[in-house]
């Protein structure tokens, strides 16, 4: 090799290539791609994971990790990854699934209100403890939108209510409340939609901010694959007062569905999602077939603009004058709750 050539850029690379010609793998490992130390390997792995999650689901790795925590927490609560196994007589479409919101999509009204009333009847919690949650729920019903501060404070309040309570007792009460109260509010056409997905061999999941025990009891009764919901941490059979993952509201649903899709190897473009609320746009937008059921005004407008299907199962449409009626109902409800609490104190 001439002196001039030896001084050319890359000459050392070529010289080592000549020496290592008989062992390409060793040459690449030692020279072209030297081994990374532990920190460099972790950084490279983190960057690759972040890029993959962003490209696949449009979320960052931290949000995806929260979703994984929510899904694993739901699986742990159920004691299995699926509440209802697939029918062996139905060929399974393993890459497709349907995701259903619960409140005003599967059932009329709020599952959380039904749960709270049932727990109060069984004295699992008191009416006095429930009043802040009822006020926030009424505020949402009147405004049509949810306040992020209300969501955060509501989450902390709910976790404080179950702290130290028995996990088994709550699960049993949730099953009873579903049987006696929640199922009576179900929209039969929505159940029929879910049944069509099951008949096509697709998974059917409930995805709701309601406590996961309610969702899983509903899924079991209706023969759905499973349910993702808000998960409270358990230890030694009692609730710790801490959250597992995130509350499944708005973007939280998208994070959990992304994690579930990765775990179950679902193709989201072959999946369908159903909801009534503009807050669920993140989940609806990530699937191939989004459907608005009993949509609020904002979601209806968005669905019509985007060309999404809209299904209306409510018997009575809301009218502009309903705000006054709701205000009156709110006053009656709060008055009744206060009176009941006062009566209970006297007794």
Residues classed as catalytic: 101, 103
Task: Please tell me the distance from the alpha carbon of residue 124 to that of residue 45, in angstroms, as a whole number.
Answer: 46
Task: Please tell me the distance from the alpha carbon of residue 70 to that of residue 212, in angstroms, as a whole number.
Answer: 10
CB 311 within 8 A of CB 139: no
Q: Spell out the SS3 assignment of 85-137.
A: CCCCCCCCCCCCEEEECCECCCECCCHHHHHHHHHHHCCCCCHHHHHHHHHHH
Place of tokens 């349910």: 227
Tokens of 232: 């409270």
Contacts of the segment 246-251: beta carbons below 8 A, 24+ positions apart: 246/66, 246/67, 246/69, 246/70, 247/151, 247/155, 247/209, 248/70, 248/207, 248/208, 248/209, 249/146, 249/151, 249/209, 249/279, 250/146, 250/279, 250/280, 250/282, 251/59, 251/63, 251/282
Question: Rounded to whole angstroms, what are the CA distances from 240 to 158, 204, 243, 347?
Answer: 12, 30, 9, 32
What does residue 196 show for φ and ψ, rounded to 5 degrees? -65, -40
Task: Please tell me the distance from the alpha carbon of residue 182 to that of residue 225, in angstroms, as a whole number.
Answer: 18
3-state secondary structure of 284: helix
């Amino acid at each position: 090799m001439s002196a001039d050539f030896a001084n050319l850029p890359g000459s050392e690379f070529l010289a080592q290539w000549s020496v290592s010609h008989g062992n390409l793998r060793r040459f690449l490992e030692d020279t072209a791609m030297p081994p990374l130390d532990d920190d460099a390997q972790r950084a490279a792995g983190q960057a690759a994971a972040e890029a993959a999650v962003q490209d696949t689901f449009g979320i960052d790795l931290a949000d995806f990790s929260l979703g994984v925590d929510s899904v694993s927490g739901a699986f742990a609560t159920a004691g299995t990854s699926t509440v209802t196994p697939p029918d062996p007589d139905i060929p399974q479409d393993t890459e497709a699934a349907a995701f259903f919101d619960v409140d005003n999509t599967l059932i009329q009204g709020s599952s959380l209100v039904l749960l709270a009333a049932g727990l109060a009847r069984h004295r699992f919690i008191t009416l006095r403890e429930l009043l802040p949650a009822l006020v926030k729920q009424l505020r949402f019903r009147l405004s049509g939108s949810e306040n992020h501060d209300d969501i955060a404070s509501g989450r902390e309040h709910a976790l404080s209510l179950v702290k130290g309570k028995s996990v088994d007792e709550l699960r049993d009460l949730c099953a009873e409340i579903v049987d006696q109260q929640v199922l009576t509010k179900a929209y039969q056409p929505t159940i029929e939609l879910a049944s069509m997905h099951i008949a096509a061999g697709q998974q059917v999941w409930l995805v709701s901010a309601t406590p996961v025990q309610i969702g899983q009891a509903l899924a079991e009764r209706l023969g759905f694959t499973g349910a993702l919901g808000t998960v409270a941490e358990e230890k030694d059979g009692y609730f710790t007062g801490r959250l597992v993952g995130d509350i499944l509201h708005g973007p939280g649903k998208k994070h959990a569905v992304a994690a579930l899709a990765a775990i179950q190897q679902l193709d989201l473009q072959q999946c369908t999602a159903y909801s009534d609320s503009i807050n669920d746009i993140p989940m609806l937008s990530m699937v191939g077939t989004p459907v608005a059921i009993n949509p609020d005004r904002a979601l209806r407008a968005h669905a019509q603009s985007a060309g999404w299907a809209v299904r209306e199962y409510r018997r009575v449409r809301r009218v502009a004058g309903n705000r006054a009626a709701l205000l009156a109902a709110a006053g009656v409800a709060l008055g009744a709750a206060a009176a009941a609490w006062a009566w209970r104190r006297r007794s």
